[in-house]
Amino acid sequence: LWNVPNNSIIMGSVSRESFGIIGALTNLTRNVGNVAGQAIASAVVVGVMAADGFDIPLGEIAGNRAASDSFMSGWRLAYILVTAFSLLGLLLSILTKPQHTNQGGSN
């Protein structure tokens, strides 16, 4: 839903000779964003669990109701933060959208 139009805009703004470099840079940026996002989300989960006093291997969470609740609270907070950052990004993209003027038409 997002990748095709985004990729079309990016590739449409560079010369044909730069397609390889720009395509690689786009993929690198996308991968770094995915990895960083997952690392931050995992850090939030671990932070919530540590704040709740749990320092156990993830494999042992299933047998401990309180640890399981803390784990889920961590993921809930992580998803709330992801949603907030996504909404902030959406707002910034709307606010910085270039204004198009109608030059020559009377629509």
pLDDT value, residue 101: 66
pLDDT in tens, 24-48: 999 999 999 999 999 999 999 999 9
Q: Is residue 101 part of a domain?
A: no
% residues pLDDT > 70 (the chain):
91
Residue 68: inside a domain: yes
In a domain, 102, yes or no: no
Residue 37 included in any domain: yes
Contact 49, 71 (CB under 8 A): yes
Flag whether 107 is in a domain. Answer: no
**Can you tell me the distance from the alpha carbon of 29 to that of 3, in angstroms, rounded to the nearest whole number?**
13
Residue 23 lies in a domain: yes
On whether the pTM is more than 0.75, the answer is no
Range of the structural domain that residue 84 is part of: 3-95
Indicate the residue type of 50: A
| Burial category of 29 from C-beta neighbours within 10 Å (exposed 0-12, middle 13-18, buried 19 and up) | exposed
